[in-house]
Amino acid sequence: MKVDAVRESIFGVPFGETLLVSDVGEQINFMTTLSNVYMKFGEVAEAAQLLETEVGNVLLWESVTEHDLMRKPDPVLARNIFVDVDRKTLGQLIRAAQAKVSTPDNLEDLLERALRARNRLNHVFYRRHNFRRNSDEGRAVMLKDLEHMHDEILGAYKALLRLSDVEFDKLAAVDLPSRHLPL
């Protein structure tokens, strides 16, 4: 386990923040490393992929019920639906889902904010932060930006899961699969 992860699990202080050890009265600074930034970037990218998959699942289910494919299987139609959903970008998936599925207004706002965060992550994150990666303070700014994007994307993902009666925060208590599922 990395020192930063141990420090965070013991003290509960995010990377790059200062921890005051009150019984000694000294300050300990934990610097944000480039590895911390890269790790968080990966976590945010994973959250974005989970969101994209779930929006696709919503569209697939809507099409399955619309065409009654559970009672009247049609492999060709099912394949065409899957290919259509699989070819869409996250923005296209969100717009298609909004056109087909009635959702609470706050979910639309969450999805739009998550889309902006994901697009910023994938298309301009490093360009906007450029040389910040070369200093402790700059990396801390980058990490804070990534944490904000993660919150935006994960918030939308959790809200979308609730439409399917799935409580994301309760999944930790469930034995989740750990083997690769070939798709």
Model pLDDT for residues 112-169, shown as the tens digit of each residue: 999 999 999 999 999 999 999 999 999 999 999 999 999 999 999 999 998 887 777 7
Q: What is the pTM of this model?
A: 0.77
Residue 16: the pLDDT is: 54
Q: Which residues pair with 29 in a beta bridge?
A: 18
Mean pLDDT of 22-26: 45
In the predicted model, is pLDDT for residue 24 greater than 80? no
- Most confident region among 53-57, 98-102, 103-107 by mean pLDDT: 53-57
pLDDT band at 78 (very low <50, low <70, confident <90, very high): very high
In the predicted model, is pLDDT for residue 86 greater than 60? yes
DSSP-assigned states of every residue in the chain: --HHHHHHHHH---TT-EEEETTTTEEEE-PPPHHHHHHHHHHHHHHHHHHHHHHHHHHHHHHHHHTTTTTS--HHHHHHHHHHHHT--HHHHHHHHHHHS---HHHHHHHHHHHHHHHHHHHTHHHHHGGGGGSHHHHHHHHHHHHHHHHHHHHHHHHHHHHTT--GGGGGGS----S----
pLDDT band at 22 (very low <50, low <70, confident <90, very high): very low
CB atoms within 10 A of CB 69: 16
Residue 182: the pLDDT is: 77
In the predicted model, is pLDDT for residue 48 greater than 80? yes
- Domain-wise residue ranges, the chain: 1-30, 33-166
CA proximity to 56, closest of 170, 176, 164: 164
